[in-house]
Amino acid sequence: MIPESRVASLRARMAEHGLDAVALASPELIYYLTGLDHHGYFAFTLLVVPRDGDLALVTREMERPTVRAQVPQCRHVTFGDGTDPASAVAGALADVPAGGRIATEDAAMFFPPAIHARARLALPGRRWSDATPLLTGAMAVKTADEVAFVRAAAAISDAAMAAGIASAREGTAEHGVAAAVHHALYSTGGQQPGFVPMIRPLWMLEQEHVSWGPRTLTRGTGLFLELSGCVRRYHAPLSRTVYVGEPPEGATDAHAAAHAGLEAARSALRPGARTGDVYAAWHAAAGVTVPRHHCGYLVGIGFPPSWVGGGEVLGIRPGGDTRVLAGMTFHLMSWVPGHVVSDTVFVTPERTEFLTRTSRDLTVVS
């Protein structure tokens, strides 16, 4: 079922900008506006939202049964294997008259420039622009139903983290921890998350997007775990650092600094605050000497390969001027040398609530 209020909101913004059509390629926005939930977007997929009339989906021909089942209200324009998707794009946009204005999601990682260029050549006389500014923040504030999905994802995240920590023992291989995490992610009712769990030893902590391998956990070392449950494509990531046998030198101080930073950031994350001020509060409390690129980011709908909602991260960065609004959900991170703790939080008018609830105490496993 197409969420008509979301489409109406986008069309209102289109009218303000004098647009005849918007073409979107990110699976997150397509899902947000239509409910299409599948993995066929590895092949070119586009949603066309005209100023009025039916929405149009451009997909590979083999996705026809999926589109018919999930979004029968959409006009469906397909392309076969070996044919040019740009021709289907031109067909979906053919009703835009000469001189009309079309905005495309140029920042989407799933909109190849070559297809974009050929579609423009096939539609001469139209005026083209980037829709990205129009779309920024469209999914930022969650409805009550969306928050319920994030809460459900958070419960799965906690279960998976508990399973990972319980399996982390001296002599256990990292892939054994990963197996326990994956079993919990799915056996508790979760979908495939947008990102794989990040599980690696502390000596690899700074390799931020590297995960488990054949390495074995040894006494006196630490293990980093970052993961998220997924419900109806909504995510609630969290991170924990655990120590095997005994904490290494400096671990207690690092844990205290990370925890202080997380609490300071949560206290500063209030409606009306600017993200740069939240970052400054975290930085001061954590006592880090080297600035990080962010201490958290908006989270919600995500499809592989990301749970951040696309290729661009709306983060809590140094000097950031994004206004915090009630209804936002963030993955709030406190990352210091030697220790990381992070949680998904929900901003309400009165306070900022932890949605993930795994213990933040110093954790040592045998």
pLDDT of 137: 86
* Residue recorded with tokens 């139209």: 126
pLDDT at 291: 83
pLDDT computed for residue 85 by the predictor: 98
Under 8 Å between Cβ of 365 and 242: yes
Residues in the chain: 366
Residue 246 has a pLDDT of 87
Other beta carbons within 10 angstroms of residue 136's beta carbon come to 13
Eight-state DSSP code of residue 325: -
**290 and 259 in a common domain:** yes
The closest of 158, 155, 161, 202 to 178, measured between CA atoms, is 161
| 202 lies in the same domain as 348 | yes
Q: Give the residue from 94, 109, 135 where a domain finishes.
A: 135
Cα 63-66-71 angle, rounded to 5 deg: 115
In angstroms, the CA 68 to CA 18 distance is 31
Map tokens 């539609």 to a residue. Answer: 123
Cis peptide before 305 (omega within 30 of 0): yes
Domain count, the chain: 2
Range of the domain at 13: 4-135
- Residue 152 three-state SS: helix
Question: Which amino acid does the sequence have at 272?
Answer: G
CATH assignment of the domain containing 153: 3.90.230.10
Amino acid found at 284: A
CA 246 to chain centre: 34
Residue 312, pLDDT score = 74
326 CB contacts (<8 Å, ≥6 apart)?
141, 271, 347, 348, 349
pLDDT digits (tens, 9 = 90+) for 42-78: 999 999 999 999 999 999 999 999 999 999 999 999 9
- Do 289 and 177 lie in one domain? The reply is yes
For the chain, report the end-to-end CA distance as a whole number of angstroms.
50
Phi, psi of 7, deg, nearest 5: -65, -40
CATH of the domain at 20: 3.40.350.10
What is the reported pLDDT for 364? 96
| pLDDT of amino acid 206 | 94
Give me the DSSP letters along 238-269. EEEEEEESSPPTTHHHHHHHHHHHHHHHHHH-
Do 35 and 154 fall within a single domain? no
Block means of pLDDT (10 residues each) for the chain, 366 residues, are 91 97 97 98 98 97 98 97 97 97 95 97 97 90 98 99 98 98 98 97 96 95 98 99 93 97 98 98 93 95 91 89 97 96 98 98 94
3-class DSSP state for residue 116?
helix
Query: Could you tell me if 92 and 199 lie in one domain?
Result: no
